[in-house]
Structure 1
Amino acid sequence: MRRFPAARPALAATTPLVSALAATALLLTGCGTTPADGGRTGTDGTPAALPSGTPIDDPGKDGVRVVSLTPPPAPPSSSPSPSPSRPYAVHADPLPTALAGAGTSAAYEVVNKGPVALTYTVVITFTNEDGGAMDNQRVTVRDVAPGKTVRGTVQAQAFTPRVTGAKVTTVTKVPASEAPAEVGTCPASGIRIGADDGNAAMGLRVVGLRLDNCGTRDYTVEGYPLLELLDSRREPVDGVRILHGSGEITTGLGPDEPPRRVTLRPGESATAALAWRNTTESGTPVNVPYVRVRAKAGAGPVTVTPHLDLGTTGKLGVTPWKKAGQQAASGGSRPGS
């Protein structure tokens, strides 16, 4: 009697494709910014080793630079894979070009040459061969001690094989003791302050401030956030009037209201707003990258980075604290920068 080979499971014919897609899923899952503690120096002060990659000639900014670029793994081959023990060939369809280019990563280093521990917020731009921006990634590197070097990596999320370079485009750094709280954490004070990314329209700028009670006790504020305007060296900026209310700036935020006593139970939040115009006439435009904020007199400061482009107007409006429309989950809201 003539015997025929036993039928093989259908899954065997698709196994290479399944593996290829699984590898791609792992690449996509890894996209995003580097964790705050990723790549930092060890307890003995020895810098962590950099991943292998192509060196990058990036002059950097403020002690931060990109040092190398690592392309994504090559996509699986689409050629047939015959097996001598099988009467048929296994073929995996090629992955889409976009997915094949995902996973390009840049290695960076942060060197703190200052006298105090700093928290850095860095924007790294991935570029193509013509120098055009393909993707921007923001990285926060916390608590870099004086004289220390911290290293880490960040991945591009632009799913394209055209990423050929990377550079540092923006750096802000604040004393670690005044940095906005990390996502999902609550400071010892029980109060978390942050700023949003702001809105701009026809020269009008508005940035929101948020005060979260992430602690276990009620917290009361009455009046306006206390502000200090700081330049790029975090020195006080002179010649700018801080106005109580936004009426002199715009009517878009509604009529000015007198401040009221606001008591926040645990999990509740209050908001305020900074408003200005970037009109430029005669004189030298004033830019304020940093604003030191206190919820009230005697409260600890938090330095946010709204980058106020005040033009030559010489004034900034601030609205009073008012209770937010919905509660903030304790320990969970993103403070912004």
Structure 2
Amino acid sequence: MRQNPSPRRPLTGRHRAATTATAATAAALLLTGCASATTTASGGGPGESGTPASCGTPPPTVPGAPQPTRLAQGGARITTAGPTCFEYEVTNPNAEPYDYTVVFDGPDPSRGAAVFGSPGDAVNLTRTVTALAPGATEKGRIDLTAPGAPTQGRPDNPRPPKPELLTVRSVPTAEAPHPDGPCPPSGLRLYADDGSAAMGLRAVSVHLRNCGTATVTLDGYPQVQPLDADHQPLDGVRVLRGGAEIASGTGADDPPRKIALRPGEGARSVLVWRNTTEAGTPQNAPYVRVRATPDAAPVMVTPELDLGTTGRLGAGAWTREDANGTAPAR
């Protein structure tokens, strides 16, 4: 399932062809206790023009060998790390703007110390970069210190923190979901929730809200396409209409019906699957491209499908839901 980080800090900033002074100021303020997200410092002390000292040295790697995934993956990499902060960068190699979500292994603020890699102590730190232009690089810096806390970790764990990349997810900016903010040009706001899991059974709801001015007709099922980590269609996965073949009582087995979705109204479809592993190679689909109707603009959500070896994904028919995300009483 999708990782559900603890309270997370918002955007690191936007990279566009012409970055405004306002955007640059916002990016600097969001990186609390750190320098501008687009400035890399060097040396052992403050540099010219207020540039802060470097966080430390690059993480150790084997010369000529690719960096391990804990340090570099999916266009993101940790560039330097020290006892009080670490620096990272995200590069977009694609031919169009992309939104990135980068999750690091992070410190537990409630313990008042920077501790990494300790089960039960660490929480996830999430940073997002939106509309990163083709070929552009966003640089960021994360402060690990807390008021009154030792920078080397707890007294019983005096080692310096070792930040790691956990996951990197990216979607084309044109297909990014919009759970809030301005209404998309399509007039339809589509996004996925965090879902639920029990005994290998998974379920994620795809929510749709008409934030436009015209009534939209939903007829049965959304179009669903599982994608691998490279955003390519995942071969060998059957997308089923409804979830009855996988499990009952998930909300994905309601009969299809036409729905006239007026402005302000909402609907949802439930994706359901099992993480059952038997003979064969397990299949994972971090992304799913969804079209609310055949002619609707696609939206790419990140439900983290761990399909095991079942090769089946059930997509429920659209059903009405109220503004609170629950189905109206029948």
Deviations 1:39-65 (A, max 9, x none): x477389x8213544235273212212
- Residue matched to 1:62: 74
- Residue matched to 2:190: 193
Matches within 5 A, 1:63-212: 63-68=75-80, 106-126=86-106, 131-132=117-118, 134-154=122-142, 161=150, 162=153, 164-181=161-178, 183-212=180-209
- Residue matched to 2:318: 321
**Unaligned stretches of 5+ residues in structure 2:** 1-6, 21-36, 41-51, 60-69, 108-113, 154-159, 326-330
Instruction: Give distance in 2, aligned partners of 1:153 and 1:130.
Output: 16
Higher CA-based Rg: 1
> Which secondary structure does the structure 2 equivalent of 1:272 belong to?
strand
> Which secondary structure does the structure 2 equivalent of 1:66 belong to?
strand
* Conserved 8 A contact 1:213-1:267: yes
* Conserved 8 A contact 1:234-1:290: yes
* Conserved 8 A contact 2:246-2:274: yes
Q: CA deviation at 1:129?
A: 6.0
Change over 3 Å in CA distance of 1:255–1:141 after alignment to 2: closer
Instruction: Give distance in 2, aligned partners of 1:210 and 1:311.
Output: 25
Deviations 1:215-264 (A, max 9, x none): 22222211111011111111111211111111111112268332111122
The count of residues paired between Structure 1 and Structure 2 equals: 265
* Conserved 8 A contact 1:112-1:146: yes
Instruction: Give distance in 2, aligned partners of 1:131 and 1:272.
Output: 37
The one-letter amino acid paired with 2:9 is: T
CA RMSD for the aligned pairs? 3.0
- Residue matched to 1:263: 260
Confirm or deny that 1:214 pairs with 2:211: yes
- Residue matched to 1:48: 38
The one-letter amino acid paired with 2:246 is: I
Q: CA deviation at 1:158?
A: 8.5
* Conserved 8 A contact 1:243-1:316: yes
The one-letter amino acid paired with 2:261 is: L
Matches within 5 A, 1:269-288: 269-288=266-285
* Conserved 8 A contact 1:229-1:237: yes
Instruction: Give distance in 1, aligned partners of 2:260 and 2:146.
Output: 44
Instruction: Give distance in 2, aligned partners of 1:313 and 1:290.
Output: 17
Q: Give TM-score scaled by structure 2 length.
A: 0.71
Change over 3 Å in CA distance of 1:183–1:158 after alignment to 2: farther
Change over 3 Å in CA distance of 1:305–1:112 after alignment to 2: same
Q: CA deviation at 1:198?
A: 1.3
Confirm or deny that 1:234 pairs with 2:231: yes
- Residue matched to 1:307: 304
Q: Give TM-score scaled by structure 1 length.
A: 0.70
Q: CA deviation at 1:306?
A: 0.9
Instruction: Give distance in 1, aligned partners of 2:174 and 2:102.
Output: 18
* Conserved 8 A contact 2:116-2:122: no
* Conserved 8 A contact 1:272-1:321: yes
- Percent identity between matched residues is 43
Q: CA deviation at 1:121?
A: 1.1
Deviations 1:276-296 (A, max 9, x none): 111111111111111100001
* Conserved 8 A contact 2:204-2:272: yes
> Which secondary structure does the structure 2 equivalent of 1:177 belong to?
helix
- Residue matched to 1:87: none
> Which secondary structure does the structure 2 equivalent of 1:287 belong to?
strand
The one-letter amino acid paired with 1:112 is: N
Change over 3 Å in CA distance of 1:266–1:69 after alignment to 2: farther
